[in-house]
Structure 1
């Protein structure tokens, strides 16, 4: 998710890889992720489809239609999320490339992995009220997870792996569990449907007034800070931010409008704190 200066984890993975992953986890103080009750069954024995189904089950059980997370309920029912994170720790497109034969398979996996790790990280941190500057430093830079047997931060996962894949629509899909993030979906992203799913996420994001607010009297458009954080990515696909936004909007923003950016709300998107409502 946004950088801190903006205000601002072959064949069957077992044996050697699993032992190596566990040692990394122990060194990082992540035994709660890898060494839970179900650790006796190496997670890579599960198919990626089964993993996506598990992640979808977590999302549908603890995320409402507005994308708010029931962290209180999740704290009392951690097994599903922990199982999702265990597979991320053991398997990824680098450690097991045969499982990810397409760009779509790799990108869908990394998006889902990022979101699952962010959810786990917030829960593991005790669900703070918000990410202050120091909190963002700890959460995105210093907090390490295991992805495919390697230690990595969320910052590096996003900026060194996901963003270089060259699809700026990921910024409408990656979710660090803050209020200003895109809506967290209730289903996993999938290799076969990824292009359609990212298009839908883009249309939803730019269709929300909080993300693209048009003031026709002032001839100005106020964009989500995400467009400020990642301007370079969007301009690689369009001549201007307005041109990029207009690709996904029914009501076009005039190209000569002045562009401003909204402040980013780092409040944790905890359903019990940011509002109640039935899914």
Structure 2
């Protein structure tokens, strides 16, 4: 009987340790961090030729994402950082695998292409954005996701982690809204990014003015008429 109790105690202890490890699981984005630091400028311009030179390291990181992913018990910030990094890494892989191209839209249906398998589930860019990230009820993710386009939010030259993503979400949202090449907000004219049109419901349930005014240095008034800028899909390449 004592032996039975001992075995049960060991099983319960092992289970507790496994659960604790799952809760504290840390995803390593160090290689991605270094690649971004080396090949992306502070203004988000990308040296795609540099990424191609470092493709061995990039492929190693990309492959690791299919096996090193957050558990159900991982912290929310860990999950956010992982899925945003993965989205941006998939876009990067698409570009460097088909370089030189002028736009991601030169590729065949890039948004729905199944690009990675995680825990026996295949994911596309649309899967990650619409079925995972948007369901996390964090509208600021739209200012971290980069589509390799000039009008996209800039690709940050560091990897997102559970430690920096909260600050990155806030700073990237503010920077994007106040960037005159992405949103033109003056007393006489309001022309904003199509991001706010495409994902209107994500921003205060469609109250776009209210959401933008939280961050905008020049506020949109009730009398303002909102128009949307054409989205520039040309490659965000460093000259």
Pairwise TM-score range, normalised by the shorter structure: 0.7 to 0.9
Contact 2:194 2:228 in 1 (8 A): yes
Structure 1 length normalisation: TM-score? 0.72
CA distance in 2, matches of 1:270, 1:222: 25
Contact 2:66 2:118 in 1 (8 A): yes
Quick one: which of 80, 83, 92 aligns to 1:119? 92
Deviations 1:60-91 (A, max 9, x none): 11111111111112112212211220111113
1:156 aligns with: 127
Cα 1:116–1:124 change in 2 (3 A) is: same
Structure 2 length normalisation: TM-score? 0.83
CA distance in 1, matches of 2:165, 2:56: 27
CA distance in 2, matches of 1:171, 1:143: 21
Contact 2:114 2:122 in 1 (8 A): no
1:3 aligns with: none
Contact 2:35 2:58 in 1 (8 A): yes
Deviations 1:28-84 (A, max 9, x none): xxxxxxxxxxxxxxxxxxx845x2221110101111111111111211221221122
Quick one: which of 222, 232, 239 aligns to 1:265? 232
Quick check: 1:75 aligned with 2:48? no
Q: 3-state SS of the aligned residue for 2:184?
A: strand
Quick check: 1:234 aligned with 2:203? yes
Quick one: which of 148, 153, 159 aligns to 1:182? 153
Deviation at 1:190, TM superposition (A): 1.7
1:21 aligns with: none
Give ranges in structure 1 of 5+ residues lacking alignment.
Answer: 1-46
Give ranges in structure 2 of 5+ residues lacking alignment.
Answer: 1-24
Q: 3-state SS of the aligned residue for 1:61?
A: helix
CA distance in 2, matches of 1:263, 1:148: 38
Q: 3-state SS of the aligned residue for 1:140?
A: coil
Deviation at 1:125, TM superposition (A): 2.1
Contact 1:89 1:146 in 2 (8 A): yes
Cα 1:73–1:270 change in 2 (3 A) is: same
Q: 3-state SS of the aligned residue for 1:65?
A: coil
1:245 aligns with: 212
Cα 1:171–1:207 change in 2 (3 A) is: same
Shift >4 Å, 4+ stretches: none
Deviations 1:239-270 (A, max 9, x none): 62111011112332223210111111111212
CA distance in 2, matches of 1:166, 1:136: 30
Q: 3-state SS of the aligned residue for 1:191?
A: coil
2:175 aligns with: 204
Deviation at 1:150, TM superposition (A): 2.5
Cα RMSD over matched residues? 1.9
CA distance in 2, matches of 1:265, 1:136: 16
Contact 1:89 1:149 in 2 (8 A): no
Cα 1:148–1:182 change in 2 (3 A) is: farther
1:91-130 aligned within 5 A: 91-93=68-70, 96-98=71-73, 101-130=74-103
